[in-house]
Structure 1
Amino acid sequence: MSYQALYQQKKMAPFDAIRVVRNGDTIVVPTAVGEPPSLLTALSEARRDFRNVTVSQILAVRKYGYLDPETVDNVRHTAYFYSGATRPGAKEGWVDFIPAYFSEMPQLIERGLMPADVVFSMASPMDEHGYFSLALAADYTMAAIEKARVVVLEVNPNVPFANGDCHIHISQVAALCESEEPILEVGLPKIGPVQEAIGRYVAEMIPDGATLQIGYGGIPDAVVMQLTDKHDLGVHTEMVGDGIMTLVEAGVVTNRRKNYHHGKMLATFALGSKKLYQFMHRNPALEMHPVDFTNDPYLAGQNDNLHAINATMQIDFLGQCGSESLGPIPYSGTGGQSDFVRAANRSKGGKAFIVLPSTAKDDTISRIVPTLSPGTHVSTSKNDINYVVTEHGVAQLRGKTAKQRCEALIGIAHPDFRGELREAAKKLKLL
């Protein structure tokens, strides 16, 4: 049977495609815009037909009908990383989560520690060889495909066909549906003077020829905007976004001085504009790979001069970072921050930056604190943190004593809080 005949045989309406799901199944869905809206909408509409079905995903970007406290016994959500769509359910207790390093999720799936019975994913149109590209998110989804009983694709002509280890063959697909709606676009975060100041400090420390990992957020994007005078930068990251695309178009990113996967940008998921998704299509300079390849600290650390830029919400005097909760209240997840901090620390000439504004809530709260707020989830440990950057400067922590760290962090705190931070440090015998 030809690939096209097989395709037509497996094509059906979304409401029919979801019938491959059995009671008790866990459905694995890719990161962010890799989620298939037609399939998840159909599942939502039919959710009362199922019992004890779980949808597991990093960063859900739409508020589907199944995200409903009244029907959690039918279909519930388990987050690998919270988002605006899942955070309310987390606060109320009817959305659960699995703590894990992003880089280790494929291994957890392969070993059966994280269930994966069904995969729902967006996909590009099929090529002449019978392959689809999961360009928007290879992440943990490729591992889930190998483990799952069935795979269901939502094929959309707006999904790029990217290079890399992100392809699935029609013979591996149980059912598919088609859609043509535009891929969800996510704009750049708002950048103000505080973000610009932090970005300036970081940009000054990034040399020509460096390889970049850039997290999501206003401050990382502010760094990107101030790199336009650099030369021959490379990219090895988890997320490819519009900022990186802008640097490529400006001739700043060439990947020519990369020693690991020379000439190639590597990422595991995409989040940005329609222009970004078009930029990814059959681009020979870009490869999308599973997250255990892009984020593994040993592999990523083989890039010389790897510079990793990630944000946190709170940091204490020892350097512990609370990047994923507000006290005990969950906000996001561990993601790849710790992966890339460790990778940059391993890298010859590498630097790991943790960036944060010095204050929150209109300058009424210091983000640099003596101890993390009770119940805060520690995302990156004191042993891994190196450069911490606020709008007031840079504190370098690795190799420093607890007292030296405390002094350096108070030095980049907001001036209005330095006095009380010093008094707190004296009580802790750190000054």
Structure 2
Amino acid sequence: MAKVISTKDKYITVDEALSLIKSGDVIVTGLGGAEPKEILNNLHKIADRVRDVTVTTCLPLEPAEYFMNPEYQNSFKMDSWFYSGLMRKAIKNGNKSITLIPNHLHESAYKRGFHKKTNIYMGTATLPDKHGYISLSLSNMYEKRVLKEADLVILEVNKNFPRTFGDMEIHVSDVDYMVETDYEVPVYPDLEPNEKDFTIGKYIADRINDGDCIQLGIGGIPNAVAASLMDKKDLGVHTEMFSTGMMNLIKAGVATGKKKNFNNGKHVACFALGTKELYDFIDDNPSFVMFDGYWTNSPAVIAQNDNQVSINTTLEVDLTGQCASESLGSSIFSATGGQTDTAVGAQMSKNGRSFITLYSTTMVRNKVTGEKEEISKIVPFLKPGAGVSLSRNDVDMVVTEYGIAELKGTSITERVERLIKIAHPKFREELLREAKKIGIIY
């Protein structure tokens, strides 16, 4: 008869957890606030005994030594589905072991499984309840799917983490080891929208109707959109990231979910990231549910909601409509994430719409003079090496502070004309000349 291991026997220390890692292991960690801080902050301490450990991450928020300090890059490699500012800083500081896994986020774990077997899944969860169940709390983008397939599962359980519902619960019998921790839930501060953000937000809000179902990305512009929707009624939420802006809409009675085709009355997401107030709101809140990102972010699932609206940001758009949202030339900035998932799904929806937003210009340092200069973010062609996050075949509407360019179904000539109209006025003539010079139009 097999020995039954009690919950008490599953508790181990951080050092004991680290002792389970060996050279060549493939580790997957939770997304954003779901990453196991205590283990990762001590991971570098075993660098002298391991080599070629791959840590697969997504939007890491903890400045752990194992990747921030380049001296550990022979011991630990970081593969990521989505870069964070910390990763960009680590690369700048000389860590050459960091690389991106190109992906549509809903397929991230599914496709990764064809290439690499996960040896260890490490994430976070709530403390076990009286029935022996724990909640994965902040993310189910890929966590539960990977957890089921991993050889070994180690979770940091923490009384401060919100208990969330949907498909977040697992029994402790499905966990190999737990490390009890007591740190505060990682907070991701809201970007305060500026004047340009609110201008763009107002353009989009004017195109959103009562009863629409919304998806918002991350940043000042999506926050401004949320703030501009306070006069709407019965909005639904089917989104990738659940943000503080969305919480505000729910608290104000603007987002009720009553008009949704499915999950009626429920606010659906893959992960939550934001303020302490946000975490308090989702804790034990049955109106908020998180499901596997493979399902939630599937364009086919998103399309089942009528009037689905997708709102995301990009870094650069060329005059044919190609959106580079993840890199500045060949330098990785973030990743495609769920941009294509949600933009395509929204357009498949009955009366659905997709908005891609950006400022018309940005300031960059001139490599010759060293002085900062203003350049257009609407360009004749993308910077060499840029990743196309949303193809011109999938773009719907592009929005800057100068208006909305409706591109769906348009010709390249029409796209050039419409995108130039929402470019900064001082670049419009130059863009037209360049478009003719390179043969986009005649």
Out of 210, 223, 229, the residue aligned to residue 208 of structure 1 is: 210
Partners of 1:183 and 1:48 in 2: how far apart? 31
| TM-score (ref. length: structure 2) | 0.94
Note the C-alpha offset of 1:289: 1.1
Note the C-alpha offset of 1:207: 0.3
Q: Does 1:430 align with 2:432?
A: no
Greater displacement, 355-364 / 162-171: 355-364
In the other structure, the counterpart of 1:282 is 284
Q: Provide, for residues 103-145 of structure 1, a one-character-per-residue CA deviation record: whole Å limited to 9, x for no partner.
A: 1113124x43243111110101111221111121111111111
2:165, 2:288 within 8 Å by CA — same for their partners in 1? yes
2:105, 2:293 within 8 Å by CA — same for their partners in 1? yes
Aligned residues: 427
1:90, 1:96 within 8 Å by CA — same for their partners in 2? no
1:20, 1:150 within 8 Å by CA — same for their partners in 2? no
Partners of 1:208 and 1:322 in 2: how far apart? 31
In the other structure, the counterpart of 2:178 is 176
1:183-194 equivalences under 5 Å are: 183-194=185-196
In the other structure, the counterpart of 1:74 is 75
Partners of 2:124 and 2:39 in 1: how far apart? 9
Give the partner amino acid of 1:275.
E
1:160-309 equivalences under 5 Å are: 160-309=162-311
In the other structure, the counterpart of 1:375 is 385
Partners of 2:255 and 2:78 in 1: how far apart? 38
Partners of 1:63 and 1:429 in 2: how far apart? 45
1:229, 1:252 within 8 Å by CA — same for their partners in 2? yes
Give the partner amino acid of 1:22.
K
Note the C-alpha offset of 1:46: 2.3
Partners of 2:440 and 2:31 in 1: how far apart? 44
In the other structure, the counterpart of 1:102 is 105
Q: Provide, for residues 236-256 of structure 1, a one-character-per-residue CA deviation record: whole Å limited to 9, x for no partner.
A: 001011101111110001000
Note the C-alpha offset of 1:161: 1.1
Note the C-alpha offset of 1:90: 4.1
Q: Provide, for residues 306-346 of structure 1, a one-character-per-residue CA deviation record: whole Å limited to 9, x for no partner.
A: 00000001000110000011111111111000100100110
The SS at the match of 2:6 is helix
Q: Does 1:415 align with 2:425?
A: yes
Partners of 2:157 and 2:192 in 1: how far apart? 32
1:45, 1:65 within 8 Å by CA — same for their partners in 2? no
Partners of 2:99 and 2:345 in 1: how far apart? 29
In the other structure, the counterpart of 2:369 is none
Give the partner amino acid of 2:441.
L
Q: Does 1:21 align with 2:21?
A: yes
The SS at the match of 1:152 is strand
Note the C-alpha offset of 1:169: 1.4
Partners of 1:90 and 1:304 in 2: how far apart? 43
In the other structure, the counterpart of 2:45 is 45
Partners of 1:247 and 1:145 in 2: how far apart? 33
1:21-170 equivalences under 5 Å are: 21-67=21-67, 68-90=69-91, 92=94, 93-109=96-112, 111-170=113-172
Greater displacement, 84-93 / 47-56: 84-93
| TM-score (ref. length: structure 1) | 0.96
Q: Provide, for residues 150-183 of structure 1, a one-character-per-residue CA deviation record: whole Å limited to 9, x for no partner.
A: 1001011111111111222111111111111111
Partners of 1:429 and 1:380 in 2: how far apart? 19
Give the partner amino acid of 2:433.
E
In the other structure, the counterpart of 2:337 is 335
Q: Are the structure 2 counterparts of residues 227 and 114 from structure 1 closer, same or farther at C-alpha, using a change threshold of 3 Å? A: farther
Give the partner amino acid of 1:379.
S
2:412, 2:440 within 8 Å by CA — same for their partners in 1? no
The SS at the match of 2:66 is coil
In the other structure, the counterpart of 1:322 is 324
In the other structure, the counterpart of 2:367 is none
1:194, 1:357 within 8 Å by CA — same for their partners in 2? yes
1:108, 1:114 within 8 Å by CA — same for their partners in 2? no
| Moved beyond 6 Å, runs of 4+ | none
Note the C-alpha offset of 1:88: 3.1
Greater displacement, 148-157 / 360-369: 360-369
Q: Are the structure 2 counterparts of residues 168 and 19 from structure 1 closer, same or farther at C-alpha, using a change threshold of 3 Å? A: farther
The SS at the match of 1:56 is strand
Partners of 1:114 and 1:308 in 2: how far apart? 32
Note the C-alpha offset of 1:21: 1.9
Note the C-alpha offset of 1:5: 7.6
2:32, 2:58 within 8 Å by CA — same for their partners in 1? yes
Partners of 2:420 and 2:407 in 1: how far apart? 12
Q: Provide, for residues 341-394 of structure 1, a one-character-per-residue CA deviation record: whole Å limited to 9, x for no partner.
A: 100110001100000000001871100001111111111100000010000000
Note the C-alpha offset of 1:260: 2.0
Give the partner amino acid of 1:100.
N
- List alignment gaps of at least 5 residues for structure 2: 364-371
Percent identity, please.
40
Greater displacement, 325-334 / 19-28: 19-28
